[in-house]
Amino acid sequence: MAAATPSVESAGNRARSSAALDFLKAGPKKLLIGGKWVAAKSGKTFETLNPATEEVLGLVGEGDKADVDEAVKAARKAFEEGQWSKIGPHQRARYLFKIADLIEQHADELAELETLDNGKAKTQALAIDVAGAAETFRYYGGWCSKIYGETNPSDPSMFNYTLREPVGVCGQIIPWNFPLLMASWKLGPALACGNTVILKPAEQTPITALRLGELILEAELPDGVVNIITGFGPGAGSSISEHPDIDKVAFTGSAEVGKIILKASAGNLKRVSLELGGKSPNIIFPDADLEQAVPGSMMGVFFNSGQVCCAGTRIFVQKEVYEKFNEQLTKFSAGMTMGDGLDPKTMMGPLVSKEQFDKVKGYLELGKKEGARVTVGGEAGSGKGYFVKPTVFADVNNNMRIAREEIFGPVAATIPFKDENDAVLQGNDTTYGLAAAVWTRDVGRAHKVARALKAGTVWVNCYNMLDPISPFGGYKQSGFGRELGRHALELYTNIKSVYVKL
Ligand code: NAP
Ligand code: MG
């Protein structure tokens, strides 16, 4: 593969943080296995790009089955020897707090690396991705000492209690939309419970996970507790999901790959948790405060260029306020500043890759063909970079493909509805069930609709609120298992029941 150095120079020249530049210039990135950085056994590397400029940021090791095998051996050894699973909870907590502190100390550098690799606005990377990653590690650090078993009222001749034990070696496969944050959602609870991990970042955005790997070594976690294998889905990813000595796989990404992973897990019946896509309904009643609902709904769909699994892409608006809402949404959306994520004025960066860019452009054409009305956007940006303008399709029918399929780009569909019942019926008429929102000043209606919506998260008069304290996950084909909150501990522990004859 072509040497990336000249482009790294120019990509790096855009970087404002010298630390980010140093990391990118340090040469091809390696895999983290057993506490050491090693080249992929095949010697292969692949390029990662800056989607705002299409320049190569750097070369990254292309791990495959042979490397996953090594990583599993290292993770198994670390797990069985107990230098992580059997240390005291306060000690394990200190490691997680240290990782959180290191993320904060390197916040600017990490945000810049995230922006360069993924395209997102740096202001948002700093405030949401990096801050959220630190908070997630800190939150799960707090759990280390609070993972309790129970004593049970068994027969008086017996003493019965339960132990919560780590599952073992965990494979974690993550997507490109929130690379560092997704790594923290996966690593935080797995590590808190005493597991060891093989993490596979997305091929489009491996950079911050690798920098996090360095910080994890700086925090002096024992060798083999966290292994990072960069590479492709078929290869690195499939070797994880098929591996006979991996006890659990956690996956975030497309429903299509989620199904492949679930099938692959049957080999050794490893546990699986899946956080897949969505086509989330965002319901606006006429009594909603439009001053809040319009910008809230706009960011609900355009945040992170629409590359958000819980994006509120189907905006249902009651007929009485449909035109007014559309007008205001169109006006606000036209005012969104799109540009290079490093520019502090940027509200929306490019899409992550050429593939995603082509896919989203395809949906823009499809929406027009299906008869939806473009009120703003509807086309790509000009010049270099994978930019697509914030787009609103009005007069959408819930049966159109643009209302049924996950687009994963800055494309909103507004759909009129008659009454509360109609809103709930249409809102639930989807194969997905990740999130939903309702905007109304009527407290009773808000709670009633929140109950009626089949989604893992429901927001009332807000959108995209996430906090490590609260569970996140899907109904229906949005997956199963709950990440975040104490519920994630269920994913990463086994329960053992012990009977003692008295
Ligand atoms: P994807 O293929 O599902 O990628 C997610 C992760 O799975 C990546 O690390 C990927 O590796 C890995 N992977 C791919 N094939 C695999 C396999 N056979 N076995 C094991 N792991 C595998 O998602 P994508 O192709 O990047 O994006 C496609 C669509 O998925 C998007 O347009 C969007 O609709 C949806 N998506 C959803 C989320 C979410 O948060 N729920 C996130 C991203 C994308 P590679 O990086 O090498 O492909
Ligand atoms: Mg990239």
Can you tell me the distance from the alpha carbon of 300 to that of 456, in angstroms, rounded to the nearest whole number? 16
DSSP strands (E only) in 147-280: 151-152, 158-166, 169-173, 196-200, 226-228, 248-252, 271-275
First to last CA, the chain: 68
Q: Which of 75, 102, 71 is nearest to 194 (CA)?
A: 75
Q: For every one of its 502 residues, what pLDDT tens digit does the chain have, with 9 covering 90 and above?
A: 233 333 444 555 566 678 999 999 998 999 999 999 999 999 999 999 999 999 999 999 999 999 999 999 999 999 999 999 999 999 999 999 999 999 999 999 999 999 999 999 999 999 999 999 999 999 999 999 999 999 999 999 999 999 999 999 999 999 999 999 999 999 999 999 999 999 999 999 999 999 999 999 999 999 999 999 999 999 999 999 999 999 999 999 999 999 999 999 999 999 999 999 999 999 999 999 999 999 999 999 999 999 999 999 999 999 999 999 999 999 999 999 999 999 999 999 999 999 999 999 999 999 999 999 999 999 999 999 999 999 999 999 999 999 999 999 999 999 999 999 999 999 999 999 999 999 999 999 999 999 999 999 999 999 999 999 999 999 999 999 999 999 999 999 999 999 999 9
Atom of ligand 1 nearest to the CA of 240: 20
Pairing of strands 314-318, 248-252: unpaired
182, 257, 280, 303, best to mutate for ligand 1 pocket (most atoms within 8 Å of CB): 257
165 given a catalytic annotation: no
What is the model's pLDDT at position 15? 62
Which one of the listed residues 309, 310, 420, 483 is annotated catalytic? 309
46 lines ligand 1 (CB under 6 A): no
Whole-angstrom Cα distance, residue 169 to residue 171? 7
Show me where the domains of the chain are located: 8-276+480-497, 281-467
pTM over 0.75: yes
How far, in Å, CA of 48 to CA of 352, rounded? 11
Of 220, 195, 333, the closest CA to residue 270 belongs to 195
- Maximum alpha-carbon separation in the chain: 78
Q: Which residues contact 77 (CB under 8 A, 6 or more apart)?
A: 34, 224
| Rounded distance from Cα 481 to ligand 1 centre (Å) | 18
Residues 6 or more apart whose Cβ sits within 8 Å of residue 315: 282, 284, 297, 301, 325, 329, 412, 413, 414, 415
Please tell me which residue in 112, 203, 275, 420 is annotated as part of the active site: 275
- The predicted structure's pLDDT at residue 14: 60
Of 251, 254, 432, the one to substitute when testing ligand 1's pocket (max ligand atoms within 8 A of C-beta) is 254
CA–CA gap between residue 313 and residue 160 (Å, rounded): 50
**And the tokens for 83?**
């230098």
Assess whether 310 carries a catalytic annotation. no
Joined together, the tokens standing for residue 133 give: 């990653």
Does ligand 1 have an atom closer than 6 angstroms to the CB of 255?
A: no
C-alpha dihedral, 3 to 6 to 11 to 14, nearest 10°: 160
Work out the number of other CB atoms within 10 angstroms of the CB of residue 162: 14
Q: Centre a 10 Å sphere on the Cβ of residue 322 and count the other Cβ atoms it contains.
A: 19
Nearest ligand 1 atom to the CA of 232 is 47
Ligand 1 near 276 CB (within 6 A): yes
Residue 197: what pLDDT? 98
Residue 393 in contact with ligand 1 by CB distance below 6 A? no
Q: Nearest C-alpha to atom 37 of ligand 1 is from which residue?
A: 253
Q: Which homologous superfamily is 8-276+480-497 in?
A: Aldehyde Dehydrogenase; Chain A, domain 1 (3.40.605.10)
Burial of 126 (0-12, 13-18, 19+ CB in 10 A): middle
Q: What are phi and psi of 469, to 5 degrees?
A: -75, -15
Q: For residue 31, which amino acid is it?
A: L
Residues 426 and 417: beta-carbon distance below 8 Å: yes
CATH T-level topology, domain 281-467: Aldehyde Dehydrogenase; Chain A, domain 2 (3.40.309)
- Rg of the chain in Å (alpha carbons): 23
Q: What is the 423 CA–ligand 2 centroid distance (Å)?
A: 39
Q: Quick check: CB of 450 below 6 Å from ligand 1?
A: no
